Amino acid sequence: MLQRVSEACVRIDGETVGAIDRGLLVLFCAEEGDTDENVSFFARKIALMRIFADEDGKMNRSVVDVGGAVLAVSQFTLAAQWRKGNRPGFSAAADPVEGERLYDLLCAALRDQGLPVETGRFGANMQVGLTNDGPITIVMDSNDA
């Protein structure tokens, strides 16, 4: 999932470990079956998705075009299976070793697209703060790719 933000940060135990001004907050969840190719595809789409306003106020510019940055935060709870019962299940999430590998790959691929990338810490209890600009929130799922 990505959100267009005017600012975003992630804190762990009260310490800011990543922060950006204008750009994108990317909440990343690797699911069972996700591949390196999925991650590369997402990185290209994230970098080039035209969701920033041009001089006419139309969403025609990408985060690259506006000189923005990315704050990438791992969030396995996006894989929640919630329809049955009242406690969500997370068995669709990739195992932690593979999830961290794919998260690191995404961050590297975004940097390869020329983007400054700040991160959270995989597996940590994080507090994420953001000012959603728009609001613009886009759900990206590898099943839709």
Catalytic residues: 75-77
The encoded tokens of residue 21 equal 């001004």
Sign of CA dihedral 82, 83, 85, 90: negative
Query: Do residues 52 and 63 make contact, with C-beta atoms less than 8 angstroms apart?
Result: yes
Q: CB neighbours (10 Å) of residue 125?
A: 7
Query: Do residues 75 and 120 make contact, with C-beta atoms less than 8 angstroms apart?
Result: no
Residue where the block lists tokens 């510019």: 61
